[in-house]
Amino acid sequence: MEINDAQKLVDDWINTHGVRYFSELTNMAILTEEVGEVARIISRKYGEQSFKESDKNIDLGDELADVLWVLIAIANQTGVNLSDALMKNMEKKTLRDNQRHHNNPKLK
């Protein structure tokens, strides 16, 4: 799926099932909450924390999709074309960080 298609899909869902977009501030809070859920899984699966019984069946892919969904909703409601923004960001990173990571002894 293309990013533009994902933005339309989320917009269509919100306008059909969600009645309207939550405010930008509410969506930012929801995004933070969803990122926290991803962090909980990562800290338990790849870090030193152990899973709680209630966390054992949590799906990382589903939680990452929740983050993406809210991020797309915020982009939609603020008029950001994520395809264009990502391409611009990649150009910036390529110019700025062209050799940075190659020269990092921590990565060798």
Q: Which range of residues forms the domain containing residue 73?
A: 3-82
Cα separation, 43 vs 25, whole angstroms: 27
pLDDT digits 0-9 by tens, 71-96: 999 999 999 999 999 999 999 999 99
Kindly state whether residue 18 falls inside one of the protein's structural domains. yes
Kindly state whether residue 78 falls inside one of the protein's structural domains. yes
DSSP string, 38-53: HHHHHHHHTSSPPPPG
pLDDT digits 0-9 by tens, 33-50: 999 999 999 999 999 988
pLDDT tier for residue 53 given thresholds of 50, 70 and 90? confident
Kindly state whether residue 87 falls inside one of the protein's structural domains. no
Comparing 57 with 92, which gets the higher pLDDT?
92
Looking up residue 73, the CATH number of its domain turns out to be 1.10.287.1080
Over the chain, what is the mean pLDDT?
94
Q: What is the reported pLDDT for 103?
A: 85
With vertex at residue 41, the alpha carbon angle to CA 37 and CA 43, rounded to the nearest 5 degrees, is 110
Kindly state whether residue 93 falls inside one of the protein's structural domains. no
Kindly state whether residue 8 falls inside one of the protein's structural domains. yes
Kindly state whether residue 52 falls inside one of the protein's structural domains. yes
Domains in the chain, number: 1
Kindly state whether residue 96 falls inside one of the protein's structural domains. no
Kindly state whether residue 70 falls inside one of the protein's structural domains. yes
% the chain with pLDDT above 90: 81
